Structure 1
């Protein structure tokens, strides 16, 4: 099997993405996860450019990496200095990595305009820098910056720049679509020309995504003979990002029969993708191919009916090969198959002809038309499933609540108090509590009335609270009367669950979600006691 090495630049190129900020310690954690995934090269940063990267290289000097070679990144030496005098090259060597990657200008426009040097001098900068580093480290990779734009503008000079790096000892020549504007046909033409001119060269591809073609362009270069692919986890990077390794790797392994990190490591792709997102404090992209939460999620009833018979009907690969899982969503587009699948996931075996399924489907479609979204609130769905099965939960009965919010001129924060009246096991509980806002006050007042009967409620914690204005549900009175959906994520020492409420009144929507969260906790405690 043909093999392609994977060169990850999440910690350098990916870190240049808007809204993405990594500390030196974050970079260390991610580097070890990439190593665990089986990545071959980790470009950790530009040690001469900022304190974060400099500190990273200091931290990892004593660390062991089983699969990856750490790589320091920088530029060719300054035009007015020799390699020996150049601070950038000195910083690269001080990073003490086995591999150094340097970029140089291969577009004549950049040589004459950006650097302001004659074309011949630019070739000297490339050759001198590669040669100087090659004498001092195991491996030097040359990133041919703007190669494809350079080839379109002056093909002879772009190829000459590659040859200068190769002759000076570069172990690999990486063709960069730095502006991300090349079409796949243009990538193909240029790569073929490189192999014609330099048949013995080891070629890599580094594509940016400004035309939404970074993955396609990377795959095409590899199809034509490139033996290394550069990219980032989740496609993070400057502007529109880099080639997404979470798509490149499985396409190579599963579609093109080219080995990269290996099939066993491929199963860790999704968890690695999410680890990088969470470390960067960014929400994972749900609709990302292969590793997104929606990549193998099915909503339409026809689709669900088919995948229950054979998943290949609507899934291009088995989701577990990349560490993902099949999901069935509940919505107003759901059919009976969706209900059966979701019920089976929760441990309920229902018959398609059972009247319960018809009742549940009718209830589901009605609720969804009002703005409920059960695909993201499994706990609320299980509660209405219990009701449809004729097993409604009867832990307490709501009578009323009363919430007061008040703020005076001298107050920094509003004062909030909630009063709740519920019937619990034949007793009326009338409780009040203050809180940090009306939802917190209601939650505290309700639990104060229930914990005497259900001590387990003291274990639960609110983990997340989301409010979304529902489009298309605005009343005539204006935008502030919109319907809202509230999602509440709650957890205890055993698990975490999500519940939901919908209303034009945000307190009422929140109350629904909180009540469902408490009912679900009590329901799950009952199940655990029954074994």
Structure 2
């Protein structure tokens, strides 16, 4: 039976140092609840001595009732020449009133000489006295040995003495930090063996991704005796990021048998990753291990056909264990069996040899030859299938649209007029927007909501344009992807292609409206 590994999530502190990441206090509170629900052991929520936002968070976090996680405040050892009780940073750590404090100190002689500009003896005293001070106030103390692996490679005795100082001060856990992200697994293993031979205290590790080794180093450290892994759930953080805990948890718990979070929580890994990415306003990479949308995506016909026969042939674990799902992106290189699998989602009784199924494949190839791509546009793909296999009356018919672009007083804008026929009625609507597509979307929505009020529930959340032939410059065709969402949180993506960006956008908008109306069970009005 493998042992338990404590997961220490630093998304709200180290992760917040990543480029483009900015959490409000409300964001941090929401993220903390998510991480607690996932079952992580520690949430490092910020440095209360560094900024008013973190101070405000800790004030409000005291009222939170966490089921699994212990909140930790982060800060440095006392400043040189001061007593611990005089140090403002240590005072701020106590004021945060978290049950745990994470204290960082120097484990690299180079930093002591050139950054702190003090003596080794003073550095070790700063570590020991700060740990002892926080312990005397009833706090659990995790000591982060900053730059440990660089320090160990440069002067092992000095790096180990920094750990000794923390242990003498009463630290509960010694964390070995690869602050520069330059360590490799064999170095981690050698250092861990020395540390484990010398200390009986629990050992944690904290790796950065600068060499692309953070996950591998974390796993190597655990296999050599580390009992805690620090990182961020999605891997973002300063520079190249931190150890990606969603991958670390997947590797250790699903592959190696360690317990990182409660077993019943492992199925929440993917949904928690998506929810946390939304809070951070960060696009979750599709290829992120275990939790990305494409982590179990099979495009090549041979691979997809194999997975349909026996998933083990091309999947290292069952995606449903981590709350993900296998995907078969619609593509011209996908096999017939894959297309049939996607078609069966809408029409369970269709036969592989059915003429209609073969026609769908032919339609798909013709459209992709013209620039369409249905990967990531499953809503348009489903509409294509439905219109071929089970045609439905059109919900509306476009009679025309006009776009007017305006620019004046340094401000750009547009207005659109849309005329549609719904059953026997004709509706004309106009709207303004911050651009032609936004104006067109608003005008179409206003025209259709008269007949289909359910459309008030949908909003356009993402818009992407891809030039298909850059050699044609402004005459190039474009592919437009539009993502829409409803209040329930469900989202879907549609695609349109044309030599005219507005026409391509119209096609994607039209598909999005039709798809939502189908899913909502709406009925098209009877015609003449």
Q: Helix, strand or coil: the match of 2:71?
A: strand
**CA pair 409-114 structure 1, distance change in 2 beyond 3 A:** closer
2:67 is aligned to: 66
**What is the CA-CA distance between 1:193 and the residue it aligns to?**
1.5
* Contact preservation (8 Å) 2:461, 2:485: no
Q: CA 1:123–1:434 in structure 2 vs 1: closer, same or farther (change >3 Å)?
A: closer
What displacement does 1:95 show? 1.4
Evaluate the alpha carbon distance shift between residue 446 and residue 65 of structure 1 in structure 2; reply closer, same or farther with a 3 A threshold: closer
What's 2:430 paired with? 433
* Contact 1:263-1:321 at 8 Å conserved across structures: no
Matched, 1:474 2:470: yes
User: 2:20 matched to 1:19?
Assistant: yes
Residue 459 of structure 1 contacts residue 493 of structure 1 at CA under 8 Å; is this kept in 2?
no
| Distance 1:133-1:434 versus aligned 2 partners, 3 A rule | closer
Does the CA contact (< 8 Å) of 2:449 and 2:456 recur in 1?
A: no
CA 1:14/1:412 → structure 2, altered by over 3 Å: closer, same or farther? closer
Provide the C-alpha distance between the structure 1 equivalents of 2:351 and 2:124, rounded to a whole number of angstroms: 74
Preserved contact between residue 104 and residue 145 of structure 2 (Cα < 8 Å) = yes
TM-score, with length taken from structure 2: 0.92
Q: In the alignment, what sits opposite 1:416?
A: 415
Structure 2 distance, partners of 1:447, 1:78, is: 61
Assess, with a 3 A threshold, how the Cα gap between structure 1 residues 25 and 196 changes in structure 2: closer, same or farther.
same
Relative to structure 2, which stretch is displaced further, 2-11 or 371-380? Answer: 371-380
Gap change, CA 1:245 and 1:396, over 3 Å in 2:
closer
SS in 2 for 1:189: helix
Residue 308 of structure 1 aligns to a residue in which SS? helix
Contact 2:431 2:442 in 1 (8 A): yes
Deviation at 1:229, TM superposition (A): 0.9
Indicate how the Cα distance of structure 1 residues 135 and 470 shifts in structure 2: closer, same or farther if over 3 A, else same.
Answer: same
The separation in 2 between residues aligned to 1:415 and 1:39, in whole angstroms, is 49
Report the Cα distance in structure 2 between the residues aligned to 1:27 and 1:451, rounded to whole angstroms.
37
**Which residues in structure 2 correspond to 1:220-369 (within 5 Å)?**
220-369=220-369
Residue number in structure 2 paired with 1:384: 384
Secondary structure of the 2:195 match is helix
**Alignment CA distance shift 1:443-1:408 (3 Å):** closer
Please give the alpha-carbon distance, in whole angstroms, between the structure 2 residues aligned to 1:269 and 1:173: 27
- The answer to whether the 8 Å contact 1:38/1:68 transfers is yes
Superposition deviation, residue 309 in structure 1: 1.4
Change (3 A) 1:25 1:189: same
Post-superposition CA distance 1:117-145 (Å, at most 9, x none): 11122111111111222211242111111
What displacement does 1:526 show?
5.2
Distance 1:69 1:528, change over 3 A: farther
Deviation at 1:406, TM superposition (A): 4.6
- Given that residues 403 and 438 in structure 1 are in contact (C-alpha distance below 8 angstroms), is that contact kept between their aligned partners in structure 2? no
User: Are 1:517 and 2:492 counterparts?
Assistant: no
Tell me the distance in 2 between the aligned counterparts of 1:113 and 1:26: 37
> What SS is found at the alignment partner of 2:113?
helix
Moved more, 400-409 or 219-228: 400-409
CA contact 2:448–2:455 (8 Å) conserved in 1: no
**Distance (whole Å) between structure 1 residues aligned to residue 99 and residue 211 of structure 2:** 34
Gaps of 5+ in 2: none
Q: Return the offset for 1:518.
A: 3.3
Give the 3 Å change call, closer, same or farther, for CA 428–69 of structure 1 in structure 2.
closer
Does the aligned pair in 1 maintain the 2:152–2:191 contact within 8 Å? Answer: yes
Paired residues, number: 521
- Whole-angstrom distance in 1 between the partners of 2:151 and 2:351: 65
Q: Report the Cα offset of residue 197 of structure 1.
A: 2.8
Q: CA 1:183–1:298 in structure 2 vs 1: closer, same or farther (change >3 Å)? A: same
Q: Deviations over 1:370-391 (max 9, x none)?
A: 2222232222222221232262
Assess if the C-alpha contact under 8 Å between 2:413 and 2:436 holds in 1: no
Give the match's secondary structure for 2:470.
coil
In the other structure, the counterpart of 1:163 is: 164
SS at match of 1:315: coil
1:322-348 deviation digits (Å, cap 9, x = unpaired): 111111110121221121111122244
Which secondary structure state, in structure 1, belongs to the residue aligned with residue 23 of structure 2? coil
Closer/same/farther in 2, CA of residues 464 and 90 from structure 1, 3 Å limit: closer
SS at match of 1:375: coil
1:86 to 1:432, Cα distance in 2 relative to 1, 3 A: closer
Distance 2:485 2:128 in 1: 60
Tell me how far 1:22 sits from its aligned partner.
0.8
1:107–1:484 distance in 2 versus 1, CA, 3 Å: same
Which one of 493, 497, 515 corresponds to residue 498 of structure 1? 493
Over residues 137-184 of structure 1, what are the superposed CA-to-partner deviations in whole Å (9 max), with x where a residue is unaligned?
Answer: 242111111110001101111111111211221111111111000111
Within the candidate set 458, 461, 465, 1:461 is matched to 458
Residues 214 and 243 of structure 1 are in contact (CA less than 8 Å); yes or no, is this contact kept in structure 2?
yes
CA distance in 1, matches of 2:272, 2:493: 24
User: Is residue 340–residue 349 contact of structure 1 (8 Å, CA) maintained in 2?
Assistant: no
Taking structure 1 as the reference length, what is the TM-score of the superposition? 0.91
Q: What secondary structure is seen at the aligned counterpart in 1 of 2:176?
A: strand
Q: Provide closer, same or farther for how the CA distance between residues 145 and 469 of structure 1 changes in structure 2, counting only shifts above 3 A.
A: same
Contact in 2 for aligned 1:466/1:488 (Cα 8 Å):
yes
SS in 2 for 1:157: helix
Question: Aligned partners of 2:427, 2:15: CA distance in 1, in Å?
Answer: 55
Whether contact under 8 Å (1:431, 1:448) holds in the other structure is no
Tell whether the 8 Å contact from 1:397 to 1:423 is kept in structure 2 after alignment. Answer: yes
